[in-house]
Amino acid sequence: MNGTDQAPRRVVVAGAGAVGLSTAWFLQEHGVEVTVVDRDGVAAGSSWGNAGYLAPAFSIPLPEPSVLRYGLRSLLDRNAPLYVPARVDPSLWAFLARFAKHCTMPAWQRAMRPFVPMNNECLEAFDALTDGGVDAPTRPAPITAAFEKPEQVADLRHEFELVRASGQDVQIAEPSTEDVSVPQLSSQVGAVMRIEGQRYVDPGEFVRALARSVEARGGEIRTGFNVDEVRREQGGVALISGDERLRADSVVLATGAWLSSLAKPLGVRTPVRAGRGYSFTVPTDEPVPGPIYLPSVRVACTPYQGGLRVAGTMEFRSPDARVYPERIEAIVRSSKPLLTGVHWDQRRDDWVGGRPVTPDGLPLIGATAAPGVFVAGGHGMWGLTLGPQTGRLLADQIVTGKQPEPLKPFNPLR
């Protein structure tokens, strides 16, 4: 609520990505008037260039022991999927030190438990959007994980065993390579795993369709509004952008990798850093039947506009830093041996986006210390998968003043 005993009548959401627009849409379900503002535009950040997986099976906390071991081996390696630039940045190294402290199995198990109810409902939240008028399909398809050597399957199998032990059902199969009809897999693939019950989307088109639905239901979307400050005022909250002030009963900050600068003065001590991901699109000789995951090189591939979107890497730089072509070239080099019929020389849509990462792997969803100000962010690689469910639960909290049980572990003031 907005600091009074009344539900807010007008809410401004900062951030026109999957999380912010989902929150706005579900607020409209409660009869709330919404305005969405964004510095750049709809789906201008990670909501456009990600792999488009709607994959609850993979929606897990990022800090875990294998990530730490892998990260230490690949630190400063420009060809590795995880890259940390060698520069003096005390805040980044402090963040990574906190991240490393959470890379233990007990910490991962504690963090995984809150993901389970979110993951169990996340696809149904997408259905609520499409049933309610969001005109973009979500496509059911298994994700095919491909490995060069059969012994490499064990790590992913173990990961899913841990997810199951946390209470989330994951259905997998391990067919022979001859029984898998994915023409993009090369002869160097020696083993596969199929993860059932997942979906994928064209992420940019889905988020744009969500924006169109918000507008069709009476909402306003304003671009070119860069929030400089959040200020409590008599009877409400104001977002300040230069000389412009936008007032509402409540506001939601869903600004992705830029969240911390606004949220820290509001009592949110958990930092959010940009774990930048890269993607590009390439033509293929044959249609791509569904998502492909290459675990050994941390690359996700998805059918996209008649070709293949290829996404990967985790790069800790400023979210506003430029595209570094060598990171894309590293993805190409690592993926090429496992894929065939892909025209790498016709690559297009080179992209980088700042996925918002927290040191404990848990998103920040809920009320801040400032009455009427809420945050929704820090989902890491799973902002698209969990965005609609985040928006649905947060809208309930804003309108009723009661924190839904699934959101308690994601309290921004933890």
| Beta carbons of 82 and 74 less than 8 angstroms apart | yes
Tokens describing residue 94: 């402090």
What SS3 class is residue 354?
strand
Run of H or E residues at 208: helix 203-216
Tokens describing residue 40: 């750049």
* DSSP letters for 160-199: HHHHHHTT----EE---GGG---TTB-TT--EEEEE-S-E
> What is d(CA 250, CA 266) in angstroms, rounded to the nearest whole number?
14
Query: Which residues neighbour 72 within 8 Å (Cβ) at sequence distance 6 or greater?
Result: none
Tokens describing residue 319: 């979210």
Name the CATH superfamily, with its identifier, for domain 10-410.
FAD/NAD(P)-binding domain (3.50.50.60)
Q: What's the mean pLDDT in 256-274?
A: 97
pLDDT class for 9, splitting at 50, 70, 90? Answer: very high
Identify the CA nearest to 336 among candidates 282, 291, 381.
282
For 187-232, write each residue's pLDDT tens digit. 999 999 999 999 999 999 999 999 999 999 999 999 999 999 999 9
pLDDT class for 238, splitting at 50, 70, 90? Answer: very high
| Beta carbons of 407 and 397 less than 8 angstroms apart | yes
Decide if pLDDT at 84 tops 60: yes
Identify the CA nearest to 230 among candidates 270, 259, 252, 262.
262
pTM of structure: 0.95
**pLDDT at position 85:** 74
For 380-413, write each residue's pLDDT tens digit. 999 999 999 999 999 999 999 999 999 999 999 9
Tokens describing residue 306: 């008649």
Domain boundary assignment for the chain? 10-410
For 124-139, write each residue's pLDDT tens digit. 999 999 999 999 999 9
Decide if pLDDT at 76 tops 70: no
> What is d(CA 217, CA 236) in angstroms, rounded to the nearest whole number?
24
For 319-333, write each residue's pLDDT tens digit. 999 999 999 999 999
What is the phi/psi pair of residue 266, to 5°? -100, 15
Tokens describing residue 96: 């990574």
Query: Which residues neighbour 139 within 8 Å (Cβ) at sequence distance 6 or greater?
Result: 199, 200, 201, 303
DSSP 342: B
pLDDT class for 77, splitting at 50, 70, 90? Answer: low
Decide if pLDDT at 163 tops 70: yes
Handedness of CA 48, 330, 194, 281 (dihedral sign): positive
